[in-house]
Amino acid sequence: MDGETAEEPVPPQGAPCGPGSGGAPALGGRREPKKYAVTDDYQLSKQVLGLGVNGKVLECFHRRTGQKCALKLLYDSPKARQEVDHHWQASGGPHIVRILDVYENMHHSKRCLLIVMECMEGGELFSRIQERGDQAFTEREAAEIMRDIGTAIQFLHSQNIAHRDVKPENLLYTSKEKDAVLKLTDFGFAKETTQNALQTPCYTPYYVAPEVLGPEKYDKSCDMWSLGVIMYILLCGFPPFYSNTGQAISPGMKRRIRLGQYGFPNPEWSEVSEDAKQLIRLLLKTDPTERLTITQFMNHPWINQSMVVPQTPLHTARVLQEDRDHWDEVKEEMTSALATMRVDYDQVQIKDLKTSNNRLLNKRRKKQAGGGSSASQGCNNQ
């Protein structure tokens, strides 16, 4: 999209022309996919923009306006519905890939959901840095990129959504131009973090243990860990943890992540500011409850005063270029680490609930088990 800025406005919904004008309600509202054929509105091309685990992303063109768009095809399932709902809820937020239309169609006699998005023609974050050649990538630029990704996460967390799959392949640029905007996409693992009735105390007595009040912190802390890994790679070109074995995730790598074993080796890190290293340490804390929250991250001087971050030239572009044969492995490793983390954190949350011996919670559990009219009667804090 032309002339787009970081503070792009939410498009006028229901505008008479152009993609996305299907009368869908604005941000946060409940929306329904269109039931007629996507091909009535869009001309699909054979060009594959991306192949993911869940399906294909194809290039397509809006028939009336000619606008180039991207179409993600998902077979219908509760998981696919969730992806659409979460992405729809986030669409229009800052640095989030915008949804233009959603269709529910039959394809080879299977029900499908088709997400039409703005086409991110600039490609992936690290490809752009790798392609820079001689022009050095600086610490200040890294800080600006981290602020942009942080802005997207801050918006999601404020909407009670944890993305849980923030990684290089899901960070795309709008165009190849200099003023391109970096955006986050792929809500396939996003999770609502609002507490359910059992987790939400009617009152918030001061004696309730923090983990009972905030198990949703685990889901959000996945995103904070991702920010730490991405920031680390931005500053040097290689990841903080790697597997060493060619496996996507080895026992050794898992252990190093768990123990927080990583360093800031020279020469790549010798000129990087202490502020940046400190921020990485706070994001890669092994105990998820100790990691920075997104608000704390956005308030850190390295982010919040990124305009005065030193313009130190980094080794990143060179290292990415030299290690390009290993980049697919780096991506696979991050994918596996996130998958492991999601499972681990889902389990801690269940355990937390089971073992928490909170008087108020137990009373409400009993009440719910006994088919009481509503465990959350009188609770409006959902």
Ligand X SMILES: Nc1ncnc2c1ncn2[C@@H]1O[C@H](COP(=O)(O)OP(=O)(O)O)[C@@H](O)[C@H]1O
Query: Which partner from the list Mg ion, ligand X, none does 57 bind, CB cut-off 5 to 8 Å by kind?
Result: ligand X
Q: Applying CB under 6 A, does 284 fall inside the site for ligand X?
A: no
Answer for which of 67, 89, 170, 221 binds Mg ion (CB under 5 A) is 170
Q: Applying CB under 6 A, does 72 fall inside the site for ligand X?
A: yes
Q: Applying CB under 5 A, does 243 fall inside the site for Mg ion?
A: no
Looking at the Cβ atoms of 57 and 153, the one nearer to ligand X is 57
Answer for which of 186, 216, 219, 223 binds Mg ion (CB under 5 A) is 186
Using CB under 5 A, which residues numbered 14 to 53 contact Mg ion? Answer: 52
Binding mask 349-378 toward Mg ion (x if CB under 5 A, else -) reads ------------------------------
Looking at 41, 101, 148, 165, which residue is catalytic? 165
Given its phi and psi angles, is residue 23 left (phi above 0), alpha (psi -120 to 50 degrees) or beta? left
Annotated active-site residue 165? The verdict is: yes
Give the range of 48-56, 263-271, 286-294, 300-308 binding ligand X by CB under 6 A.
48-56
Nearest distance, CB of residue 172 and ligand X, angstroms = 6
3-state secondary structure labels for all residues of the chain: CCCCCCCCCCCCCCCCCCCCCCCCCCCCCCCCCECCCHHHHEEEEEEEEEECCCCEEEEEEECCCCCEEEEEEEECCHHHHHHHHHHHHHCCCCCECCEEEEEEEEECCEEEEEEEEECCCCEEHHHHHHCCCCCCCEHHHHHHHHHHHHHHHHHHHHCCEECCCCCHHHEEECCCCCCCCEEECCCCCCEECCCCCCCCCCCCCCCCCHHHHCCHHHHHHHHHHHHHHHHHHHHHCCCCCCCCCCCCCCHHHHHHHHHCCCCCCCCCCCCCCHHHHHHHHHHCCCCHHHCCCHHHHHHCHHHHCHHHCCCCECCHHHHHHHCHHHHHHHHHHHHHHHHHHHHHHHHHHHHHHHHCCCHHHHHHHHHHHCCCCCCCCCCCCC
Q: Applying CB under 6 A, does 4 fall inside the site for ligand X?
A: no
Nearest distance, CB of residue 314 and ligand X, angstroms = 24
Nearest distance, CB of residue 86 and ligand X, angstroms = 12
Q: Applying CB under 6 A, does 101 fall inside the site for ligand X?
A: no
Give, in order, the Cα–Cα distances in Å from 6 to each of 100, 151, 158, 178, 305: 18, 10, 18, 13, 17
Nearest distance, CB of residue 251 and ligand X, angstroms = 26
Q: Applying CB under 6 A, does 328 fall inside the site for ligand X?
A: no
Nearest distance, CB of residue 185 and ligand X, angstroms = 5
Answer for which of 97, 162, 309, 330 binds ligand X (CB under 6 A) is 97
Using CB under 6 A, which residues numbered 143 to 202 contact ligand X? Answer: 169-170, 172, 185-186, 188
Residue 354 among known ligand-binding residues: no
Of 314, 311, 262, nearest in space to 285 by CA: 262
Looking at the Cβ atoms of 52 and 205, the one nearer to Mg ion is 52
Cα-flanking dihedrals φ and ψ of residue 260, to 5°?
65, 35
Looking at the Cβ atoms of 78 and 210, the one nearer to ligand X is 78
Q: Applying CB under 6 A, does 120 fall inside the site for ligand X?
A: yes
Give the range of 40-48, 165-173, 310-318, 373-381 binding Mg ion by CB under 5 A.
165-173
Residues paired with residue 68 on neighbouring β-strands, in sequence order: 61
Q: Applying CB under 6 A, does 113 fall inside the site for ligand X?
A: no
Using only the alpha carbons of the chain, give its radius of gyration.
22
Looking at the Cβ atoms of 24 and 49, the one nearer to Mg ion is 49
Q: Which residues are documented as binding site?
A: 72
Q: Which residues are catalytic?
A: 165
- Write out the residues near Mg ion by the rule CB under 5 A: 52, 170, 186
- Write out the residues near ligand X by the rule CB under 6 A: 49-50, 52-54, 57, 70, 72, 97, 117-120, 169-170, 172, 185-186, 188
